[in-house]
Amino acid sequence: MLKINKGDTKMKCPECNKGLKKIKIKIQDANTPVTSFQCGSCGYFEFEEKEIGKAIEEIKLKEMPLKIKQKIIKLSQDRLGMYFNRDVVRSLDLKSGEDIFVSIPDKNHIVLKIDNR
């Protein structure tokens, strides 16, 4: 479950002032390995804040993907569209006028990528 690679020692342990070992940890269900800092003498342990935050987000996404059923609506003759549900807008912080890229990876999916993110 945990894959550990030994790293360098730079930071000091706040408990005993010994050098902390920088170790990359693979957390189950998260794609990105997380950097941790571990003390070999007192057992002090901390995660790199941004990386553990990212891993938690990844785990959350896997557990509860946002999936909403919506209808394609007719905007005008030969033009179809859909609106973005409020939860989608809120979770992506979408703004009117933002650019998005549309891609069609296969016959069953539409992928929307928000520009500059």
Element (H, E) at 32: none
Count other C-beta atoms under 10 Å from residue 73's C-beta.
Answer: 10
Pick 15 or 57: Cβ nearer Zn ion = 15
81-104 per-residue burial string, b: 16 or more CB within 10 A, e: under 16: eeeeeeeeeeeeeeeeeeeeeeee
Quick one: which segment of 36-44, 62-70, 78-86, 99-107 binds Zn ion (CB under 5 A)? 36-44
Quick one: which segment of 40-48, 58-66, 85-93, 94-102 binds Zn ion (CB under 5 A)? 40-48
Show contacts of 48-54: CB within 8 Å, 24+ apart.
Answer: 54/30
39 touches Zn ion (CB under 5 A) = yes
Pick 25 or 37: Cβ nearer Zn ion = 37
- Tell me how far, at minimum, the Cβ of 38 lies from Zn ion, in Å: 9
Distance CA 13, CA 101 (A): 46
Contact set for Zn ion, span 41-100 (CB under 5 A): 42, 44
Binding site for Zn ion (CB under 5 A): 13, 15-16, 18, 39, 42, 44
